[in-house]
Chains A and B, each alone.
Chain A
Amino acid sequence: GENVEQHPSTLSVQEGDSAVIKCTYSDSASNYFPWYKQELGKRPQLIIDIRSNVGEKKDQRIAVTLNKTAKHFSLHITETQPEDSAVYFCAASSNTGNQFYFGTGTSLTVIP
């Protein structure tokens, strides 16, 4: 089955700086890569996703890049704000059944 690895496990940045979270996946059949944000005690919520036919996608301060050859994808948050503090999960899904396999999460702290 799919194995998704995520780094770093914790990340602290100053407000206004950028944050980058990286994930790798093992199954070359994976073709959909969502990123979820989970605030303490709340449900995971989708913040951005990318499909394998696209190399980069941007939504305001958030961007995701995908390198299919290397099997890795990254989340980039620019101009970080305190409300960006949360746990972020990457996931990979294959075209065989839409199962989602999650990374271990990155706890992001934005220091005011």
Chain B
Amino acid sequence: EAGVAQSPRYKIIEKRQSVAFWCNPISGHATLYWYQQILGQGPKLLIQFQNNGVVDDSQLPKDRFSAERLKGVDSTLKIQPAKLEDSAVYLCASSWVGVGTEAFFGQGTRLTVV
């Protein structure tokens, strides 16, 4: 099966600019996650969707981050305005619905804020 697709792979922006990341999950996977992975740390959950509804966004900095999954398939994550501390790899993952199902990760988008 095709994997989780993310774009772009790399992005460099100046602080206070905005940026958007795109994710296409594995076909049929109703659950989609966005994770932030800062260098040397484990992935941190930002938001979890099931179809087009939000399951958990408790760790999403809502003053600057937003995410949507309008048709229950593709998703976009936006940062506006970006801060230096947002420099990280943003990973998208997807899974079948249900407890204890494997999450499949995309390659990630490496964001550098200068």
Nearest-Cβ distance from residue A96 to partner chain B, whole angstroms = 8
How far, in angstroms, from A13 to B94 measured CA to CA in the complex? Answer: 33
Count of chain A residues with a beta carbon within 8 Å of a chain B beta carbon: 27
How far, in angstroms, from A44 to B98 measured CA to CA in the complex? Answer: 20
Count of chain B residues with a beta carbon within 8 Å of a chain A beta carbon: 28
Is A102 within 8 A of B44, CB to CB?
yes
Is A98 within 8 A of B45, CB to CB?
no
For window 69-112 of A, CB contacts with B under 8 Å fall at: 89, 93-95, 97-105
Bitwise interface map of B from 18 to 58 toward A, beta carbon under 8 Å scored 1, else 0: 00000000000001010100001111110010000001101
Q: Interface with A: B62-70, B74-82, B99-107, which one? A: B99-107
Nearest-Cβ distance from residue B109 to partner chain A, whole angstroms = 11
Which one of B42, B44, B106 has the greatest number of beta carbons of chain A within 10 Å? B42
Is B101 within 8 A of A98, CB to CB?
yes
How far, in angstroms, from A42 to B55 measured CA to CA in the complex? Answer: 27
Chain A's closest residue to B92 (CB) is: A43
Residues in A with CB closer than 8 Å to B35 are: 102
Which of A34, A45, A95, A99 interacts with B45 by CB under 8 Å? A99
Residues in A with CB closer than 8 Å to B55 are: 97, 99
User: Is B87 in the interface zone, CB < 8 Å from A?
Assistant: no
Which of B31, B33, B43 interacts with A89 by CB under 8 Å? B43
User: Is B88 in the interface zone, CB < 8 Å from A?
Assistant: no
Residues in A with CB closer than 8 Å to B93 are: 100
Do A100 and B105 form a contact, CB below 8 Å, given A31-B100, A51-B100? no
- What is the interface of chain B, defined by CB distance below 8 A to chain A? 4, 31, 33, 35, 40-45, 48, 55-56, 58, 91, 93, 95, 98-108
